């Protein structure tokens, strides 16, 4: 591992970046991991300052994405307003829940004996079912390391849900007052994790299902799919299958579609079928690709045809 003099490294930064000494030192600090306070992440901060020297782990530098790392540092260590990063998507979900006939509240703090234990990002109530959600916004992972970091955040969300459930009895009265349903008692409690990345939908962390924000919005907006048909020179769209009975999901429907998402329902089983047409002296064997959804018998015929001479 290369070992460089800190002073020499600062001079190099001044020359190559054409910046003042103070800026060069700030850049060095920005990309240095702080070993003494256990802030070590060599993918984002690869420089290791030790006694006037700087260690440069080139393997980490070469395997990192510099542009993505810079944006991450801006998001986490600058004075940039972080509300849009995490709070606004949850607040928008609260509006969707209310429009769908739920009572909903965001950012509820769990306090026990005056001490803050954790916070609950979203709570919603309908038909006697209480839904509790923790939200984690992650950078879309594109490497094993990024997947690990995102998974760690989702495990933290699961730990927060554990605490919410552990102390629900103590805070129920305050929570239900915020929800506007005083005097009510839930029949069921359904905890789940919501995130921005489709990559983690259908997975479980700490036993809790994970779904993405667009999927929750889809359910609350009526849960009707769209069909796109293509033909030479034109694009056609239309309404597809509806996954709930009414305009908005009941608590039972919403819970079921959290537990068993439509992505799983739509898994297809390919079945070959053949039909035959006779045109003049030719017989046409039409291959019909059966895209069969579990529990359904619908067949979709493609335009793939096999011609055979009579």
The span from the first CA to the last CA of the chain, in angstroms, equals 74
Residue 230 has pLDDT above 60, yes or no: no
Q: Rounded distance, CA 204 to CA 199, Å? A: 12
Question: Predicted confidence band at 278 (pLDDT cuts at 50, 70, 90)?
Answer: low
Q: Count other Cβ atoms within 10 Å, centred on residue 27.
A: 17
Q: Rounded distance, CA 132 to CA 154, Å? A: 15
pLDDT of residue 302: 35
Q: pTM to 2 decimals?
A: 0.65
Per the CB < 8 A criterion, the answer to whether 209 and 84 are in contact is no
Q: Which domains does the chain possess?
A: 3-77 (no CATH), 83-220 (3.40.1350), 269-309 (no CATH)
Non-local CB neighbours of 10 within 8 Å, separated by 6+ positions: 21, 24, 25, 28
Residue 199 has pLDDT above 50, yes or no: yes
């Amino acid at each position: 591992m290369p070992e460089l003099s800190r002073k020499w490294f600062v001079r190099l930064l001044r020359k190559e970046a054409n910046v003042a000494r103070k800026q060069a030192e700030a850049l060095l600090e920005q990309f240095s991991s702080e070993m003494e306070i256990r802030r070590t992440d060599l993918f984002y901060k690869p420089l290791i300052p030790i006694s006037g020297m700087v260690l440069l782990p080139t393997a980490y530098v070469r395997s990192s994405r510099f542009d993505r790392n810079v944006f991450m540092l801006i998001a986490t260590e600058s004075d940039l307003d972080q509300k849009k990063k995490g709070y606004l998507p949850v607040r928008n979900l609260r509006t969707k829940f209310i429009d769908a006939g739920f009572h909903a509240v965001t950012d509820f703090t769990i306090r026990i004996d005056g001490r803050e234990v954790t916070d609950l990002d979203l709570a919603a109530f309908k038909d006697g079912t209480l839904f509790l959600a923790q939200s984690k916004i992650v950078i879309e992972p594109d490497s094993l390391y990024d997947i690990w970091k995102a998974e760690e955040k989702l495990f933290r969300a699961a730990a927060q849900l554990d605490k919410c459930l552990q102390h629900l009895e103590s805070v129920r009265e305050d929570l239900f007052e915020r929800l506007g349903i005083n005097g009510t008692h839930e029949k069921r409690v359904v905890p789940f994790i919501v995130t921005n990345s489709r990559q983690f939908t259908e997975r479980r962390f700490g036993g809790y299902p994970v779904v993405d924000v667009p999927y929750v919005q889809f359910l609350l907006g009526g849960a009707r799919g769209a069909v796109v048909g293509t033909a030479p020179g034109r694009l056609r769209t239309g309404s597809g299958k509806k996954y709930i009975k009414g305009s908005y999901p009941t608590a039972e429907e919403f819970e079921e579609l959290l537990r068993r998402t439509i992505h799983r329902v739509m898994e297809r089983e390919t079945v070959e079928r053949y039909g035959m047409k006779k045109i003049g002296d030719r017989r046409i064997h039409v291959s019909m690709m059966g895209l069969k959804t579990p529990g359904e018998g619908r067949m979709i015929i493609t335009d793939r045809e096999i011609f055979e001479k009579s």
